[in-house]
């Protein structure tokens, strides 16, 4: 019984000693301390992805806007009342502007986090990253809302103006 107790104490002491040694040892890139160079590289790639995503989204939205304008022109030439589509387009444009502002805010926050990687404390850096993640979620929500709005509201209005749902299925805002 006494030997078991001694063995138990030795195991606990060794476990504590190894835990303290592991905490006191410098981090080797696997967590713990902030590695400024790898953090800068990862954030730079995140900035590049965000800029590419913005460019791609803007191009798709511009193409969809052109298609909507063409559809509005065709419907107007047929003598249809396109005031509803004009209002829908205005809402779409305002949502696109909101998404664009959120993209810019995300890119700026990522650039701020990149500059904090070398100079700030770990807590400040993590706070900047958390803020950037929230902005990314907002951007993704904005883009999703634009897609849903275009597919549900705008296409429904175009179909109702065309009068038949079979030919309205041919017109799509695939750019969104």
Q: Which of 17-31, 82-96, 136-150 has the lowest mean pLDDT?
A: 17-31
Q: Does a structural domain hold residue 41?
A: yes
| Nearest CA-CA partner of 110 in 17, 29, 41, 10 | 41
> With contact defined as beta carbons under 8 Å apart, do 87 and 161 qualify?
no
At residue 104, does pLDDT exceed 80?
Answer: yes
Q: Does a structural domain hold residue 174?
A: no
Q: What is the pLDDT of residue 28?
A: 43
Q: Where are the alpha helices (DSSP H) in 27-121?
A: 36-77, 83-119
User: Under DSSP, is residue 172 helix (H, G, I), strand (E, B) or coil?
Assistant: coil
Distance CA 112, CA 94 (A): 27
- What are the respective helix, strand and coil percentages of the chain, to the nearest 5? 85, 0, 15
Q: Does a structural domain hold residue 21?
A: no
Q: Does a structural domain hold residue 23?
A: no
Task: Look up residue 135 and give its two tokens.
Answer: 């902005």
Whole-structure pTM value? 0.66
Q: What is the pLDDT of residue 87?
A: 92
Q: Does a structural domain hold residue 42?
A: yes
Domains: count for the chain: 1
Going from the C-alpha of 174 to that of each of 12, 61, 107, 166, the distances in angstroms are: 64, 10, 27, 17
Q: Which domain holds residue 66?
A: 36-168
The tens digit of pLDDT for each residue in 4-48 reads 555 555 555 455 445 444 444 444 444 455 677 787 888 888 889
Q: Give 137's pLDDT tier (boundaries 50, 70, 90).
A: very high
| Mean pLDDT across 160-164 | 78
Q: What is the pLDDT of residue 138?
A: 92
Q: Does a structural domain hold residue 9?
A: no
> With contact defined as beta carbons under 8 Å apart, do 89 and 68 qualify?
yes
Q: Give 158's pLDDT tier (boundaries 50, 70, 90).
A: confident
Q: What is the pLDDT of residue 20?
A: 42
Q: Does a structural domain hold residue 86?
A: yes
- DSSP letter at 34? -
Share of the chain above pLDDT 70, in %: 73
Distance CA 21, CA 173 (A): 61
| Mean pLDDT across 104-133 | 84
Q: Does a structural domain hold residue 149?
A: yes
């Amino acid at each position: 019984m006494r030997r078991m107790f001694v063995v138990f104490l030795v195991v606990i002491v060794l476990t504590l000693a190894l835990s303290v040694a592991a905490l006191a040892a410098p981090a080797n890139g696997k967590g713990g301390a902030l590695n400024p160079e790898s953090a800068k590289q990862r954030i730079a790639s995140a900035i590049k992805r965000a800029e590419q995503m913005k460019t791609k989204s803007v191009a798709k939205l511009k193409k969809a806007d052109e298609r909507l304008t063409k559809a509005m022109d065709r419907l107007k030439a047929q003598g249809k009342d396109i005031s509803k589509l004009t209002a829908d387009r205005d809402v779409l444009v305002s949502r696109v502007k909101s998404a664009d502002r959120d993209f810019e805010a995300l890119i700026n926050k990522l650039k701020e986090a990149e500059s904090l990687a070398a100079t700030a404390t770990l807590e400040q850096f993590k706070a900047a990253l958390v803020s950037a993640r929230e902005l990314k979620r907002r951007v993704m929500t904005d883009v999703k809302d634009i897609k849903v709005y275009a597919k549900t509201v705008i296409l429904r209005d175009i179909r109702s103006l065309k009068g038949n749902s079979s030919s309205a299925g041919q017109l799509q805002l695939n750019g969104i």
